[in-house]
Copies of this chain bind each other. A is one copy, B any other.
Amino acid sequence: MKGVRVEAPATSANLGAGFDVFGMALSEPVDVLVVEEIEAGVVLEVSGYQVPESPERNLAGYVAGRLLEGTEAGVKIRLEKGVPPGSGLGSSAASAAGAAAGVAVLLGLEVSVEELLRVCAEAERLASGAAHADNAAACLYGGFVCVGTKGYEVLAVEPPEWLEYAVVLPEVRVETRAARRALPERVPLEVHVHDLARAVMFAAGMIRGERRLLRAGMSDWFATPVRSRWVPEFEALERAAVRAGALGMTISGSGPACIALCCRDEQPARVVAEAMAEVYQERGMRCMSFWGKPGEGVRVNGERLSNIL
């Protein structure tokens, strides 16, 4: 039986001011998908973290179904969920992007990464109620991305080679839909202008590899002040990260995971992750932590997707 093995990593969206448009691929945790050709239809088996199993309600199943339209083929997907759902780490996007990449490569579909992104972004509407493409773009392209909301144009950037991230995920679950509903429908003009400049500086910092710009760019007035209410000990966490040497810290996606960025030559991300985790441990709260270099995004049979399609 023909099959491919896909690793689809967690991703971190927003990164401060880049609400709904910035994303960065992490190197772990990952969803692992084994995609095999079958007679017809979509069969889904899920292990690891618990997520809906019916192909209609699971993003991997939905995306596979969309890509099979117009073909005679079917696929069986064994999804090992390694990216915790409801964490702010792009769990649904990992499943969607992983399935999209697996089905496209397995069946030799003539699609571009851009087309896969469009399908994944629409799948995300199922998960969050809004067709945002930030996590999916980061997962499909790897590195740092900015994705336009009209037409899903993508700016893909290889982060500076010294950049590392530290992620800490407390044991609280945040529903993406609820986190989105808490945000106002209209943005005060001064917030709009403030966040515009921050987002531009952050992206410029990624492109130029300038720490000053990443530092200045990693704060926002729109989403984080609202969403930090759901992150236990947010202020203490931010203080700990910055004191440990991080360039900045913010909420990952809609949280509750938080992400700090650091320059390896100043302070390895492991140390920053430990300092952040300590904030929870000292208060008797459980958390997970991850750190590493920004990732390459989805890999199919060990190869970066953008090298295949």
Contact = CB atoms under 8 A, between A and B. Distances in A.
A200 B203 contact: yes
A201 B19 contact: no
Central interface residue in A146, A190, A195, by most chain B CB within 10 Å: A146
Contacts of A190: 149
Interface in A61-75: none
A200 B204 CA distance: 8
Interface string A6-25: 00000000000111111000
A17 B196 contact: yes
A10 B146 CA distance: 31
Central interface residue in A192, A195, A201, by most chain B CB within 10 Å: A192
Interface residues of A, number: 39
Contact of A155 (B19, B195, B204): B204
B196 A19 contact: yes
Nearest to A204: B155
Contacts of A204: 146, 155, 157, 203-204, 207
A216 B148 contact: yes
Nearest to A207: B207
A18 B200 contact: yes
A19 B197 CA distance: 9
A147 interface: yes
A286 to B, nearest CB: 34
Contacts of A201: 146, 148, 153, 155
A32 B203 CA distance: 36
Contacts of A207: 204, 207-208
Contact of A188 (B147, B153, B186, B196): B186
A187 interface: yes
Interface string A133-168: 000000000000011111001010100000000000
A155 B213 contact: yes
A57 interface: no
B222 A148 contact: no
A302 interface: no
Contacts of A208: 207
A2 to B, nearest CB: 36
Interface of A: 17-22, 146-150, 153, 155, 157, 183-190, 192-201, 203-204, 207-208, 213, 216, 222
6 contacts: A19-B192, A20-B193, A21-B193, A148-B197, A148-B201, A204-B204
The 5 A-B residue pairs whose C-beta atoms are closest, nearest first, are: A186-B186, A21-B197, A148-B197, A187-B192, A187-B187
Given A18-B196, A148-B197, A200-B200, 10 more contacts: A18-B200, A20-B193, A21-B196, A147-B197, A148-B201, A155-B201, A155-B204, A157-B204, A186-B188, A196-B196
